Amino acid sequence: MKKIIHFALAAAMIAAVSCNNPGDPEREPSLTVNPSELTFEASDTGGQIVQVTAVGMEWEFSVNDETDKWLDVVREDDALRISVTENLRADGRSGIVMVRSVGTAKPVERMVTVTQRGSDDPVELSLEVVPVSLTFAGEGADSQDVEVTVGGDLEWSAVAAEHWITVTPVEGGFTVAVADNPETDERRGTVTVTPDADSVEPVGVSVIQEGKVLPPEFSVDKQELFFSYNLLGEGGNAQKINVHAVSVEWDVSIEPEKEGDDAGWLSFMIDYMAVSAIVEANRSFEERTAYVVFTTDWDEVPEIRVKVTQEAAKEYLSTLTGDVDFTGRVNKMRGELWPSQSWADADIAEWTMALYGDGVEYNGGIYSGEGVVLKFDLITDRVDFNEENVYYIESRKYEVVPATNADGRRAGTVQAGRAATSPFNPYPNFYYLEYGGGENVSASAPVTSGSVEVSRDGEEYTFVVDVYDDFGWHITGTYTGRLDLTVNGEIEENPEG
């Protein structure tokens, strides 16, 4: 309350204009203050008088805002009574009282310098702000109070760095209000409380405002998923369900079609706003069904069930509808070989081969386009690296044998086609394929018996294929042409010396 009165007195005195006797008109106009310097002890709050002598003019005085916090000035006729508040700090302080002429052609100013010594027993300055973090709702948020406690004769100010934060001083601190957040993202700002003493650090109050809350929405882009028994076809072993959720918390689980059924073949993986349904290969001859179940905290859409069906295993894989003769439908041949190092222990070599038509393209292990592809693995006797980097397939008849691991393979055989166990190799070993555009396979058949006869004349090979698929369809054809061979690796020194 003292400070309010102090400000009011200062304002009144700044506006006051002297009625001082202008003096003898014969004398030269002048303005003097005596004394022009005053000194106060730290605890000396009594007033001191400064005499103002004005000749031929009227006068007024003023005190700057900073000094006015601890310096009181009262006009008493032709004098100023100057007093100070007690200085609780160790450092001294000084201020200026300005006395100036009024209505003169040329302004006349005089200064009174006021100095107050520091305290021998200063009060420790401190600043405490509680709380130092505020969180507001995105819209319609109430203002919040911040309490500021000071130790010693300390003044402070609070300023917000962001335009959407409003700070209002109140008794014992200040209030913080925020404008509505126009965005759905959270935003952050700071209110800095700055003391008027360098020895005391400013304190920042963190202001966090949540994003505005949109009306709730929840949906998924699939109502039903279908998987092949052997994980072939679109999606392989995983298909994605995209989720659209606004202002809704959601979760996902797996449920069997009927209570007591085993749904362990179906699982899921969450990737932000999508759920991938993942299945295992179906080894049984029965179709199976389970559900990916989405639950929410929104009463209007509490649950969504996505039906997942996987077909029963088939007794055969072939999708052909009759015998096939591919002669004339293939005109390219490519192969890959990993020769053995001379010092390595190996009995066989494996040639990964493909015969395919003109309308088919090969790119990094992937075939696409339109036409026939016949892919198979020939097992020959061991082939070592040579300096000339020239390699030929051994001329002989290669019998189709059941697929086995590397240890069980022998020269003069072709590994039979089999069901896929990985979506990354949907047609393992020996397969006849017909591509119907892009990577779409319109017909496929694993080769399970028969033979491939190979003969060579210079750089040209002749392949005579006489095989059967797992349904019993007869697949035949002859191809003559050059081999486009990729040799993997290079000659290496024996690491054991």
32-63: per-residue pLDDT in tens? 999 999 999 988 888 999 999 999 999 999 99
pLDDT tens string 161-171: 999 999 999 99
Residue with the bigger pLDDT between 25 and 430: it is: 430
Whether the pLDDT of residue 14 is over 50: the answer is: no
The region of weakest confidence among 13-17, 93-97, 164-168, 444-448 is: 13-17
Whether the pLDDT of residue 7 is over 50: the answer is: no
pLDDT computed for residue 27 by the predictor: 65
Matching residue, tokens 């997942």: 308
Whether the pLDDT of residue 366 is over 60: the answer is: yes
pLDDT above 90 as % of the chain: 75
pLDDT tens string 438-459: 999 999 999 999 999 999 999 9
Whether the pLDDT of residue 22 is over 60: the answer is: no
Question: Are 303 and 296 within 8 A, CB to CB?
Answer: yes
pLDDT computed for residue 129 by the predictor: 97
Q: Are domains 126-209 and 217-310 of this chain identical in fold?
A: yes
Question: Are 168 and 95 within 8 A, CB to CB?
Answer: no
Q: Taking the domains of the chain in order of start, what are their residue ranges?
A: 2-116, 126-209, 217-310, 324-487
Q: For the chain, give the secondary structure using H, E and C.
A: CHHHHHHHHHHHHHHCCCCCCCCCCCCCCEEEEECCEEEECCCCCCCEEEEEEEECCEEEEEECCCHHHCEEEEEECCEEEEEECCCCCCCCEEEEEEEEEECCCCCCEEEEEEEECCCCCCCCCEEEEECCEEEECCCCCCCEEEEEEEECCCCEEEEECCCCEEEEEECCEEEEEECCCCCCCCEEEEEEEEECCCCCCCEEEEEEECCCCCCCEEEECCCEEEECCCCCCCCCCEEEEEEEEECCCEEEEEEECCCCCCCCCEEEEECCCEEEEEECCCCCCCCEEEEEEEEECCCCCCEEEEEEEECCCCCCCCCCCCCEECCCCCCEEEEEECCECCCCCCCEEEEEEEEECCCEEEECCEEEEEEEEEEEEEEEECCECCCCCCCCCCCEEEEEECCCCHHHCCCCEEECCCCCCCCCCCCCCCEEEEEECCCCEEEEEEEEEEEEEEEEECCEEEEEEEEEECCCCEEEEEEEEECEEEECCCCCCCCCC
Q: In whole angstroms, what is the distance from residue 87 CA to residue 38 CA?
A: 15
Assign domain 2-116 to its CATH superfamily.
Immunoglobulins (2.60.40.10)
Classify domain 217-310 at the CATH topology level: Immunoglobulin-like (2.60.40)
Whether the pLDDT of residue 398 is over 70: the answer is: yes
Q: Residue 420's pLDDT band (boundaries 50, 70, 90)?
A: confident
Cα→Cα distances 339→392, 396, 403, 412, Å: 11, 19, 21, 17
Whether the pLDDT of residue 4 is over 50: the answer is: no
| Mean pLDDT for the stretch of residues 359-382 | 94
Nearest to 78 by CA among 36, 50, 104, 103: 50
Q: Residue 206's pLDDT band (boundaries 50, 70, 90)?
A: very high
- Is the pTM higher than 0.85? The answer reads no
The region of weakest confidence among 269-278, 359-368, 452-461 is: 359-368
Whether the pLDDT of residue 18 is over 70: the answer is: no
pLDDT computed for residue 68 by the predictor: 78
Question: Are 333 and 461 within 8 A, CB to CB?
Answer: yes
pLDDT computed for residue 198 by the predictor: 78
pLDDT tens string 400-412: 999 888 778 999 9
- The CATH number of 126-209, from 2.60.40.10, 3.90.1640.10, 3.40.640.10, 1.10.760.10, is 2.60.40.10
| Mean pLDDT for the stretch of residues 186-199 | 92
pLDDT tens string 181-191: 999 899 999 99
Whether the pLDDT of residue 351 is over 60: the answer is: yes
| Mean pLDDT for the stretch of residues 131-140 | 96
Q: Residue 26's pLDDT band (boundaries 50, 70, 90)?
A: low
Residue with the bigger pLDDT between 234 and 219: it is: 219
Sheet holding 250-256, edge to edge: 224-227, 303-310, 288-296, 250-256
The mean pLDDT of the chain is 90
pLDDT computed for residue 392 by the predictor: 97
| Mean pLDDT for the stretch of residues 388-416 | 93
Whether the pLDDT of residue 192 is over 50: the answer is: yes
